[in-house]
Amino acid sequence: MTKFFMTAIAALLLSSANVTAGPSTSTTTWIQLDNTCHYFGITGNGDAYAEVHGCANLTLGVGAGMAAKTKELGTTVILGDSHKTDQIAQSCYVLQRPFVTGGRWEAYGTNDGRKMAQMGSGTYTVLSGPPPWR
């Protein structure tokens, strides 16, 4: 009886916590920064995001980030991006969401961990899938 009771309690706790077995389902949104070769594959899971960043047929980096709000852009995703070719440099991309063509972006970078400089800003285009060169 105790074993049955403990199993029932565990099932109740799991169902009330909205926990599911197996991997969560998420989709990847592909965007390209307008007037650049830079594209991102952004995969969200709740307020957490992962990204792959490329330029033309090169994968430049990968990163992760969180949903946030900023004074300048409002509701955003902020992504930290590590570079495959420069292990010291770090970039931070701020992307307006929801992801729609014409959304705005800003990018900042550092190569010493103390000073951050704006690298660029503009709008982005949502792609229908991965870029053809990916």
Task: Give pLDDT, residue 96.
Answer: 97
64-94, pLDDT tens digit by residue?
999 999 898 999 999 998 877 666 788 899 9
Question: What number is the average pLDDT over the span 92-116?
Answer: 94
Q: How confident is the model at residue 17 (pLDDT cuts 50, 70, 90)?
A: very low
**Residue with token string 């970078």:** 109
Q: How confident is the model at residue 58 (pLDDT cuts 50, 70, 90)?
A: confident
Neighbours of 109 (CB within 10 A): 17
Domain 27-126 falls in which CATH fold?
A: Lipocalin (2.40.128)
**Range 84-87, long-range pairs (CB < 8 A, 24+ positions):** 84/59, 84/60, 85/60, 86/111
| Model pTM score | 0.75
The answer to whether residues 4 and 99 touch, using CB atoms and an 8 Å cutoff, is no
**54: pLDDT strictly greater than 60:** yes
